[in-house]
Every structure is written in C-alpha cells, then in structure tokens.
C-alpha cells in the first residue's frame, strides 16, 4: 500500500509526498525488517521507539510513533515519514483489519488446547488444492501475531488460515472480532493455561469466544467427542458441525491404525477412501477430521483432500522425527507442553518400535497454577518402566513427577536437573544413548528444551 492509504486507514493526517511512498511490508523487529517496511515501534519489555533509527538504517520507509513519546530523531531523520498514533499496538491491529477487508479472503480461525497448529497446517494443505492460501507462520497466534499474519498476506490471497491462542478471558473475543472468520474451528479442550481459568468448563467458555466475530453466515466446527463443547455450541446462532471418533458426529473416523511415522484411517462419510497422515500419534486423526470438515465445507473433492493430508507441511518441532549425532532417532516436540498433550505423545512414543532403548526427556509444563504438582505427578501413569529405559527431567515443577516415579523406576533410571543445568543433562544423556535408541523431548517453550535438541544433533 502507499503510505497515504495507510495514513487514511489509521486516521492520520497525510502529506502529499506520502502518495509516492510504497510500503511493501510491516515489521516490529529491526532484526528481520526488510527494506520498504513500515516500522511499528511496539512498547513492551523493550520500547520499540528506541529502535526507530535502526529501522531507518535497515531500510524502513516510514514509522509509526506513539503520541506519548518525545521525538528523539537527529536532524537528518527529522523529515522521516512518521505517522503519529495514540497506541502503536492498536494501530497495528487497526491496519490489519483494514488490510483484511481490502484483500477480503475467506477466513478460517483455529483454536484449541491441543492440535491447533497441526490442524492449521492440515487445513492449509487441503485448501491450497483450490485456493491461494496464507496461514499463520510458526505460532504467531496472539494479539501481535494475528495482525502480523494478516498484514503478511499476498494481495492474491483467497483463503487465510489463522491460528488463535489464548491464556485469559477476552483474548479470543478480540482476535475473533478482528478477523471476522467465515469458519471457526475448536480442536479440543484440555488443561492448557488452567492456572488462569481454574476448570475445564471455564477453558471451554474461553474457547467459545472464537465465535464472537463469526460472520452471520459462518460456521463452527468443533470436537463432538467433548460434552463441554456440545453443550455450549447449542447457543451458537450460526451453523455448527462436529467431528470425532464417536457415533453421532457429522464427520467420524473409523479403522484408525498408526505406527511411529504415520497413521491411516477411514471416514464414515467417505468409506471407500483411505486417509494417511505422516505423523506420529493416532490422536492427530482428530486434527485431520477437523481439516476434512473444513475442506468439505469449501467443497474440496475428497480425492484432493486425501492427497493433501498425505503431503501436508507440519510446523517445525511438533512431534517431528530428527536424527541425533550418534545416529539415534529423536522425537522433537519441544515447542510447548501441557498435561493432555504430554500424555498423548508419551503413549504414542512408548509404542514406537525400536531395536534399542527409549529415553524420555520432559521439561516443566507451565501455567498450571495450584494444580501443577498434581498434573506433573500424574504423568507417571503413562511412563512404563517396561517400555522406557530412562527419564530425564528438566526444571523445578517436574520434581513432583520425579517423586511419583520413585518405586516405579529405580533411582538410577530417573534424573532431575534444574532448568539452568542443561549442560549436565546433555552430558549425561549423551553418555547413555547409542545409535539404535530413540529419544523423546517435550516441555513448555519457557524451559527451552530446543537447546538440548540442538546439542544432541551437533
């Protein structure tokens, strides 16, 4: 867009020269800013206004500037195109809303306690068979990531797949009203962020906020195996559809069979087709059913959906097999963790065939509040000493799990390390594993088990 159009969208007084300035991208990070960008100086732990000179140096053609900040440009930059706004974050969201209406794609919004990133990837693969598709990058799924996803759309985008995360009431409400989805998807209700909500009932209430901006002729697709969602969906005025493994769902899975690299299943609606997803864990069939439901809504032929699911691109570090430097296979699921997801991955990993041994590395699961000790301790129920050789725990909260494993595993098979002692964990793990072994890594992002993964792959 031309800078003059951006100024108009943000209700900022423009100048004649701005008609000639073309903005090709938007950035709030000078490290990744590309020439031609509009710089958004967000105020957080660091104040983006301090980085405006660096943004100019890196090729920004204009910047926003929050009115409550004094200008600190030097004389050379005094004439740099600057849009003064009340709040830079609000302006980012307002500009995203304007651009969304200008491009006017079909919008699919995806949320859920688990599976939303995988479901987003699957939906994108299916819709790409007939549309120009843009999807959320990595997990840009919050109040900053969602508008950045919108502003990253190419002008020819026909379908936008937006992942939406939340950890407090009101967040999905704001995001849903921003994107005004044509389709909303809720993958499941788990215990993620239960620290802030207290109960699964309240988590379900918060997830339903995704319908608050749903277009009048829009549709909600949700996991019909979850009674909490079935109950709440009755109040939704738009069309609602269910997916799941139980009888009575609009889209129902049958004959689910999985191994360490893939899962195959059939669908009651299309019994003649065999669907295959190349990812560990039969629990991912629920995510595939959500994607198939959306694809069917957009009238994608079943043959194309079969092919798309077989070849979809999974976001990195989500139940991804990689090879370690000793030849061991590593199941990397280090991006995030919560009790529901951890149990599902542990069960799947424990069934993976191997000629060697199985090693499990678990980090703290965050945002569990008063239930943290109990939920960590409960993971002991899915750790079988007949299937898992050694357990390496990293963090403070996993101490409850270590204690609960006493008696189930011998003391030489359970190892507990503080989060800042990863080097010791890595050293001990390296001494234990060999080429025939398999290793699983899972923890909340704040524990940074990706550092362990990186060390094992060097």
Domain contains 93: no
CA distances from 297 to 12, 29, 132, 184, 402 (A): 40, 37, 17, 12, 47
Phi-psi group of 10: left, alpha or beta (phi > 0 → left; psi -120 to 50 → alpha; rest → beta): alpha
Domain contains 94: no
Per-residue pLDDT of the chain (458 residues; tens, 9 = 90+): 999 999 999 999 999 999 999 999 999 999 999 999 999 999 998 999 999 999 999 999 999 999 999 875 554 545 799 999 999 999 999 999 999 999 999 999 999 988 999 999 999 999 999 999 999 997 799 999 999 999 999 999 999 999 999 888 999 999 999 999 999 999 999 877 677 777 889 999 999 999 999 999 999 999 999 999 999 999 999 999 999 999 999 999 999 998 888 999 999 999 999 999 999 889 999 999 999 999 999 999 999 999 999 999 888 767 889 999 999 999 998 888 889 889 999 999 999 999 999 999 999 999 888 889 999 999 999 999 999 999 999 999 999 999 999 989 999 999 999 999 999 999 999 999 999 999 999 999 899 999 999 999 98
> Domain boundary at 28, 55, 86, which?
86
Domain contains 159: yes
CB atoms within 10 A of CB 350: 16
* CA-closest candidate to residue 106, choices 233, 217, 241: 217
The tally of domains found in the chain comes to 3
Residues 301 and 324 in one domain: no
Q: What is the CATH number of the domain that holds 70?
A: 3.40.1390.10
Domain contains 92: no
Domain carrying residue 344: 320-457
Cα end-to-end span (Å), the chain: 44
* CA-closest candidate to residue 211, choices 181, 249, 234, 231: 181
Q: Do the annotations mark residue 63 as ligand-binding?
A: no
Q: What is the CATH number of the domain that holds 394?
A: 3.90.190.20
Residues 71 and 129 in one domain: no
Residues 230 and 305 in one domain: yes
Domain contains 358: yes
* CA-closest candidate to residue 181, choices 91, 294, 89: 294
Domain contains 97: no
Q: List phi, psi (to 5°) of 95.
A: -65, -40
- Residue 71 has a pLDDT of 74
Residues 341 and 453 in one domain: yes
Q: Do the annotations mark residue 258 as ligand-binding?
A: no
* pTM attached to this predicted model: 0.86
Q: Do the annotations mark residue 434 as ligand-binding?
A: no
Q: Do the annotations mark residue 84 as ligand-binding?
A: no
Residues 393 and 281 in one domain: no
Q: What CA–CA distance (Å, rounded) separates 88 from 43?
A: 8
Domain contains 382: yes
DSSP 8-class letter at 406: B
Q: Count Cα neighbours of 393 within 13 Å in the Cβ-side half-sphere.
A: 24
Residues 39 and 117 in one domain: no
Residues 335 and 306 in one domain: no
DSSP β-bridge partners for residue 302: none
Burial 88-117 (b: 16+ CB within 10 A, else e): bbebbbbbbbbbbeebebbbbbbbbbbbbb
Residues 130 and 251 in one domain: yes
H or E segment and range at residue 347 = helix 339-350
Q: Do the annotations mark residue 118 as ligand-binding?
A: yes
Domain contains 197: yes
Q: What CA–CA distance (Å, rounded) separates 277 from 308?
A: 9
CA distances from 396 to 22, 119, 337, 420, 425 (A): 50, 31, 15, 10, 14
Residues 156 and 251 in one domain: yes
Helix (H, G, I), strand (E, B) or coil at 31: coil
Residues 303 and 422 in one domain: no
- Residue 75 has a pLDDT of 45
Residues 162 and 67 in one domain: no
Q: Do the annotations mark residue 116 as ligand-binding?
A: yes
CB-count burial class (<10 Å; 0-12, 13-18, 19+) for 389: middle
How many H-runs (helices) and E-runs (strands) does the chain carry? 16, 19
Q: What CA–CA distance (Å, rounded) separates 455 from 138?
A: 22
DSSP β-bridge partners for residue 2: 22
Residues 244 and 381 in one domain: no
Q: What is the CATH number of the domain that holds 131?
A: 3.40.1190.10
> Domain boundary at 262, 277, 310, which?
310
> Domain boundary at 310, 341, 374, which?
310
Q: Do the annotations mark residue 406 as ligand-binding?
A: no
């Amino acid at each position: 867009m031309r800078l003059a159009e951006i100024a108009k969208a943000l209700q900022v007084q423009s100048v004649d020269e701005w008609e000639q300035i073309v903005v090709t991208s938007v950035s709030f990070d000078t490290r990744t800013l590309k020439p031609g960008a509009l710089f958004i100086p967000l105020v957080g732990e660091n104040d983006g206004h301090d980085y405006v000179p660096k943004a100019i140096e890196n090729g920004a053609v204009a910047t926003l500037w929050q009115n409550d900040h004094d200008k600190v440009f030097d004389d050379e930059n005094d004439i740099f195109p600057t849009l003064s706004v009340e709040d830079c974050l609000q302006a980012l969201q307002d500009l995203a809303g304007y651009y969304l209406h200008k491009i006017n794609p079909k919008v699919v919004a995806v949320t859920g306690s688990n599976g939303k990133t995988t479901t987003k990837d699957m939906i994108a693969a299916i819709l790409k068979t007939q549309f120009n598709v843009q999807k959320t990058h990595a997990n840009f799924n919050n109040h900053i990531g969602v508008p950045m996803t919108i502003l990253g759309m190419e002008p020819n985008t026909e379908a936008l797949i937006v992942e939406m995360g939340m950890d407090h009431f009101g967040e999905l409400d704001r995001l849903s009203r921003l994107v005004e989805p044509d389709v909303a998807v809720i993958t499941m209700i788990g215990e993620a962020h239960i620290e802030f909500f207290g109960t699964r009932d309240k988590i379900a209430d918060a997830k339903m906020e995704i319908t608050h901006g749903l277009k009048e002729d829009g549709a909600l697709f949700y996991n019909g195996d979850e009674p909490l969602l079935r109950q709440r969906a009755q109040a939704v005025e738009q069309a609602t559809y269910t997916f799941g493994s139980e009888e009575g769902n609009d889209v129902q899975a049958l004959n689910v069979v999985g191994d360490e690299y893939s899962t195959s299943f059939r669908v009651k609606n299309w019994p003649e087709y065999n669907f295959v997803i190349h990812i560990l864990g039969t629990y991912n069939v629920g995510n595939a059913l959500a994607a198939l439901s959306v694809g069917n809504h957009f009238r994608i032929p079943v043959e194309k959906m079969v092919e798309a699911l077989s070849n979809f691109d999974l976001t990195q570090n989500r139940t991804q097999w990689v090879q370690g430097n000793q030849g061991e296979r590593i199941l990397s699921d280090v991006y995030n963790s919560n009790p529901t997801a951890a149990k599902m991955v542990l069960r799947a990993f424990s069934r993976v065939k191997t000629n060697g041994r199985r090693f499990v590395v678990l980090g703290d699961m965050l945002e569990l509040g008063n239930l943290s000790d109990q939920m960590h301790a409960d993971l002991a129920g899915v750790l079988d000493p007949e299937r898992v050789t050694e357990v390496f725990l990293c963090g403070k909260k996993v101490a409850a799990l270590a204690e609960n494993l006493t008696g189930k595993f011998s003391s030489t098979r359970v190892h507990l390390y503080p989060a800042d002692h990863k080097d010791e964990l890595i050293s001990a793990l390296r001494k234990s594993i060999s080429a025939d072994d398999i290793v699983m890594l899972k923890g909340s992002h704040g524990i940074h088990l990706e550092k362990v993964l990186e060390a094992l792959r060097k």
